[in-house]
Structure 1
Amino acid sequence: MAKQAIDNTNIKKVVLAYSGGLDTSIIIPWLKENYNNCEVIAVSADVGQGSELEGLEEKAKKTGASKLYIADLKKQFVEDYIFPTVKAGAVYENKYLLGTSFARPIIAKRLVEIALAEGADAICHGCTGKGNDQVRFELAIKAFAPDMKIIAPWRIWDLKSREDEIEYAEAHNIPLKITRETNYSKDKNLWHLSHEGLDLEDPANEPQYNKEGFLELGVSPEQAPDKPTYITLTFEKGIPVALDGQKLCAVDLVAKLNEVGGANGIGIADIVENRLVGMKSRGVYETPGGTILYHAHNKLEEICLDKATYHYKQNVANKFAELVYDGEWFTPLREALSAFVDSTQQTVTGEVKLKLYKGNIIDAGVTSPYSLYNSDMATFDEDEVYDQADSAGFINLFGLPIKVRAMAKKNWPVEK
């Protein structure tokens, strides 16, 4: 299949989404080679990668960047992207908690802001032509800079594999933190860590959870303590605000839940997902804190939302997850769904107690001042608030369509 031709006309300054990983490490010299020695401005978004950001400025400049921006987006990432998605209950294909998906829009938005401020001619990303991230980045860029040129090297260069990339890096004396043996494709932020590639490309292979260095945010359930850990989460209008009675900011709360969840083997998911571009892909995701938050939030909604709202919100959650996964964060529909979700969360306030044990999250109690659970109604003991004889009339009316159809069938022609 023919590659897209390189159009390097009028490209003098490029803003690059820079992580310091394999792809973006080689893109800087590649851009300068193929775009008339253009100026490359690297931008690293801090969405909670931690130590991955260390030494990036020196590395970026050594490989040809004129400067490096490091944008601290952690607070905005959690408050404006993660928590709205949790409130929606959005989970892609029942398992994926969207850790990479909702990180891309906020990064792309910052790329545009810097590109416009710098007077850049183009924005460049290192996403492959097979993946979802190219769509997520580019839809967000189009939302804020519809006329900005986008450069996607994977769609136009001659490199065909990560092996080719490593060879290119070695030929250009670019230092890498990976080897051919540890060359998993990973994405890390405050919310999660994903692993793809190598032995994981075959769904028949069991992930090496107990192999040293594979899991980074926690341990496997087998290695978790034999004693359970109890925690209590406090929510206000669907937003988690405290852990074990201690008020925490959004970033610290997620980080703390990652610690306690990871230590108990929580949140490891082996997923074969349907990518937006049409193929299936297999990956292992670590989302310890996020798994706890989703579970706790849903538990609180069980007692705070009425049946009709709770059931309809499940439909909204599926669509919300699809929008986030497909990179459609900055769309009227996503904003409208968020408005609906916010309306449902006005009474989702209370405390959820959980028991964490060897990869399991076990409910241990839930309370809310807005609880719709009425023990007098639900009791199996004698009560004075519910007349059980009323149910007969309800069943007669509720079942009337079934009864009418059964009666009508008696007069239908008999099929031979």
Structure 2
Amino acid sequence: MISKRIRSFADMDVVASHSRHILTLFSGGLDSSYALKELARRNCKVTAMAVDVGDGVDQSDLKSIADHFGADLEVVDAREEFVNVGVIPAIRAQAKYLGIYPISSSLTRPLIAASAVRTAKRLGCDAVIHTANQSQNSLRRLNGAISQLGFGGWYGTPYEFSALSREEKIAGLAAAGLTRFQARGISGDANLWVREYESGSLDNPEAFWVPDSLYQWTAATQSKFGASVQIRFEGGRPVAVNGKRMPTMELVEQLNYHVGSFGIGRYSGLEHLDQGEKVLEVREAPAATILMDAYRHLETACLEYEVLREKASQEQLWVREAIEGRWYGKLRESAEQFIDCTAQQVSGTVGFQLRGGAADVCSIVADVPLYLTDRDAWEKSVAKIRGSNSLQIPEAMEVAA
């Protein structure tokens, strides 16, 4: 029986000789471009698929590379889907890796895998190739999602067992007439929710540096924006900023630049690989930072303590299953159902005052609050009600006395 997993370029040889039509995930970066070169050399029918999850896709650039290697190009606009199945659940689940930084590729990879499986079925592709490597958690997240979605063809990445340096890939592409790629540097993965960076000057956690030019949302341009932000939620979904209602995608985009302009939302942290090794990642996520913070404050105003305490454990379960590549499993689905149930009660507005590097909460206004607004009045009312049930001397004891 032939294995359905693609783990090397030798495996790609087998697939190319048996496959009718190969779908390869394509970002236009070095790894996916080199994979296209290798597929072109094997003379098989190839469609390169790019998925737009919110940080822009240069279709002309992608098409020029695909055309260079004789591949068809498919571009899938998954921005709205990403908002609904990734961003909103992440806000509700307080989706941070060990509570340190907002997760990112854990949210997009299952969506990209689902787009790949749908596109492969529509085009009649019997193989799906991606280009994650051993030091990227996308490897297990894409493989896990494709497997859980029940794809029956070959799938995987040739870079799992065929390790090539960046310089080797650049030289190979240059020899094939594509000279646009540069020597080793920082690589990135961006979407509507998070901009994430790794490699290059970020390789060594013991001594790394981040060029200021890397950051886009968190550039210091406070003068363009006001220092206050009010975010309204309805049924656990953000619906307005400073009183202006807007679609969630537009709301997140606006907050990235507004909140980010105060230098809010920069993170550095380690993440574990499949076998336990750790790699450093740097990211910026201003909208994610303030939206999750606002949601946490608002749900504490709306939900009972025991519900909140149980929700905290479900959040960690949700995040664990997402980062381990088990997005389409029953554990994450069940945790999300619990979290979504609690979200129906979370409506109201949270206000922040922004300053350099920080967002200070200045108001929490829940539609149906559990908090007190006048402690003295509450104390008197409660004392009167509860005092009427205080200890009374039984009538028989009074007579005896």
Q: C-alpha separation between the residues in 1 aligned to 2:313 and 2:45?
A: 47
The worse-fitting range, judged by mean Cα deviation, of 268-277 and 294-303 is: 268-277
Q: C-alpha separation between the residues in 2 aligned to 1:3 and 1:330?
A: 26
Tell me which of 180, 183, 208 is aligned to 1:180: 183
**Corresponding residue of 1:155:** 160
| Letter of the 1:55 counterpart | D
Q: In 2 relative to 1, CA 239–18 (structure 1 residues): closer, same or farther, beyond 3 Å?
A: same
- The alpha-carbon deviation at position 209 of structure 1 amounts to 4.6
| Letter of the 2:76 counterpart | A
Find the residue that maps to 2:182 and give its secondary structure. coil
Q: Does the 8 Å CA contact 1:192/1:287 hold for their aligned counterparts?
A: yes
- The alpha-carbon deviation at position 201 of structure 1 amounts to 1.3
Tell me which of 35, 42, 47 is aligned to 1:41: 47
- The alpha-carbon deviation at position 325 of structure 1 amounts to 1.0
Tell me which of 48, 62, 66 is aligned to 2:68: 62
After superposition, the C-alpha distances for 1:9-44 in whole angstroms (9 at most, x for unaligned) are 4123110100001110111111232xx411110110
Find the residue that maps to 1:385 and give its secondary structure. helix
- The alpha-carbon deviation at position 246 of structure 1 amounts to 0.9
Q: Does 1:167 align with 2:171?
A: yes
- The alpha-carbon deviation at position 138 of structure 1 amounts to 1.3
Instruction: In structure 1, list runs of 5 or more residues that go unmatched.
Output: 394-416
Q: Does the 8 Å CA contact 2:9/2:158 hold for their aligned counterparts?
A: no
- The alpha-carbon deviation at position 123 of structure 1 amounts to 0.3
Q: Does 1:21 align with 2:29?
A: yes
**Corresponding residue of 1:327:** 325
The worse-fitting range, judged by mean Cα deviation, of 272-281 and 247-256 is: 272-281
TM-score (norm 1): 0.85
Find the residue that maps to 2:105 and give its secondary structure. coil
Q: Does the 8 Å CA contact 1:25/1:174 hold for their aligned counterparts?
A: no
Find the residue that maps to 1:202 and give its secondary structure. coil
**Corresponding residue of 1:412:** none
| Letter of the 1:189 counterpart | N
Q: In 2 relative to 1, CA 198–337 (structure 1 residues): closer, same or farther, beyond 3 Å?
A: same
- Percent identity over paired residues: 28
Q: C-alpha separation between the residues in 1 aligned to 2:194 and 2:293?
A: 16
Q: C-alpha separation between the residues in 1 aligned to 2:60 and 2:297?
A: 39
- The alpha-carbon deviation at position 143 of structure 1 amounts to 2.3
Q: In 2 relative to 1, CA 315–368 (structure 1 residues): closer, same or farther, beyond 3 Å?
A: same
Q: Does 1:115 align with 2:123?
A: no
Q: Does the 8 Å CA contact 2:186/2:197 hold for their aligned counterparts?
A: yes
**Corresponding residue of 1:302:** 300
Q: Does the 8 Å CA contact 2:28/2:61 hold for their aligned counterparts?
A: no
Q: C-alpha separation between the residues in 1 aligned to 2:198 and 2:307?
A: 37
- The alpha-carbon deviation at position 389 of structure 1 amounts to 10
- The alpha-carbon deviation at position 137 of structure 1 amounts to 1.0
- The alpha-carbon deviation at position 385 of structure 1 amounts to 0.9
Runs of 4+ in 1 over 3 A off after TM superposition: 2-5, 51-54, 223-228, 378-382, 386-390
Tell me which of 26, 38, 41 is aligned to 1:30: 38
Q: Does the 8 Å CA contact 2:83/2:249 hold for their aligned counterparts?
A: yes
Q: Does the 8 Å CA contact 1:228/1:357 hold for their aligned counterparts?
A: no
- The alpha-carbon deviation at position 225 of structure 1 amounts to 5.5
Q: In 2 relative to 1, CA 23–387 (structure 1 residues): closer, same or farther, beyond 3 Å?
A: farther
Q: C-alpha separation between the residues in 2 aligned to 1:387 and 1:278?
A: 59
- The alpha-carbon deviation at position 62 of structure 1 amounts to 1.3
**Corresponding residue of 2:256:** 258
TM-score (norm 2): 0.88
Q: C-alpha separation between the residues in 1 aligned to 2:182 and 2:211?
A: 19
Q: C-alpha separation between the residues in 2 aligned to 1:13 and 1:25?
A: 18
Q: C-alpha separation between the residues in 1 aligned to 2:250 and 2:385?
A: 50
Paired residues in the alignment total 379
Instruction: In structure 2, list runs of 5 or more residues that go unmatched.
Output: 1-6, 391-401
Q: C-alpha separation between the residues in 2 aligned to 1:44 and 1:170?
A: 22
